[in-house]
Amino acid sequence: MTGLKRIIKAGAVNFKRNGIVSWAAVLVVTITLSVIASLIFLQAVLHYSLDQIKDKVDVTIYFTTGASEDKILALKSSLENLPEVASVTYTSDAEALKLFRDRHSDDYPTIQALDEIKDNPLGAYLNVKAKEVSQYESIANFLKSDNALVLGSASIIDKVNYHQNKLVIERLNSIISGAQKLGFLVTLILVLISIVITFNTIRLTIFFSREEIGVMRLVGASKMRVRGPFMIEGAIYGIIATLVTLVIFVPLTVWFSRNMTDFLGINLYDYYISNFFQIFAIILLSGVLLGVVSSSLAVRKYLNK
Interval 27-62: pLDDT, tens? 888 888 888 888 888 878 877 877 777 777 778 888
Taking the C-alpha atoms of residue 58 and residue 292, their distance in angstroms, rounded to an integer, is 49
Task: Kindly indicate the confidence band of residue 104, based on its pLDDT and cuts at 50, 70 and 90.
Answer: confident
With the C-alpha atoms ordered 230, 242, 19, 194, is the resulting torsion angle positive or negative?
positive
Domain with 99 in it: 65-155
Query: Do 145 and 183 lie in a common domain?
Result: no
Question: Are the C-beta atoms of residues 252 and 301 closer than 8 Å to each other?
Answer: no
Specify the DSSP class assigned to residue 135.
G
Taking the C-alpha atoms of residue 47 and residue 37, their distance in angstroms, rounded to an integer, is 15
Taking the C-alpha atoms of residue 289 and residue 235, their distance in angstroms, rounded to an integer, is 7
Query: Do 197 and 94 lie in a common domain?
Result: no
* Whether the predicted model's global pTM rises above the 0.75 cut: no
Task: Kindly indicate the confidence band of residue 78, based on its pLDDT and cuts at 50, 70 and 90.
Answer: confident
**CATH number of the domain that residue 86 is part of:** 3.30.70
Backbone dihedral angles phi then psi of residue 131, each to the nearest 5 degrees: -70, -35
Interval 154-178: pLDDT, tens? 567 778 777 666 676 667 667 767 7
Query: Do 49 and 147 lie in a common domain?
Result: no
Total domains in the fold of the chain: 2
Taking the C-alpha atoms of residue 233 and residue 129, their distance in angstroms, rounded to an integer, is 53
Interval 257-271: pLDDT, tens? 888 777 777 888 888
* HSE toward the beta carbon, residue 8, CA cutoff 13 A: 5
